[in-house]
């Protein structure tokens, strides 16, 4: 029963797994490697300064 409850928060669109947010759009699930790359890109400055924006 617990697995059914947890599975209700996820959906597949094509071949991508998304988590449904409570009050947000669907969030794309990424691997640990992808998550690290995304965080490094954001905090490395390629997206511009986000301090005081």
Residue 48 lies in a domain: no
| pLDDT of 17 | 92
Residue 38 lies in a domain: yes
Distance of CA 28 to the CA centre of its chain: 4
Residue 26 lies in a domain: yes
Q: What is the pLDDT of residues 1-53, one digit of tens each?
A: 788 888 888 889 999 899 987 787 888 899 999 999 988 887 876 556 656 55
- Residue 53 CB: number of other CB atoms within 10 A? 5
| pLDDT of 44 | 78
| pLDDT of 40 | 87
- Residue 18 CB: number of other CB atoms within 10 A? 15
Q: How many distinct structural domains can be found in the chain?
A: 1
């Amino acid at each position: 029963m617990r697995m059914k409850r947890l599975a209700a928060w996820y959906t597949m669109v094509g071949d991508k797994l998304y988590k449904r947010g409570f009050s947000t759009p669907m969030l794309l699930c990424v691997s640990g490697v992808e998550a690290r790359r995304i965080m490094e890109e954001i905090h490395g400055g390629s997206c511009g300064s986000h301090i005081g924006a």
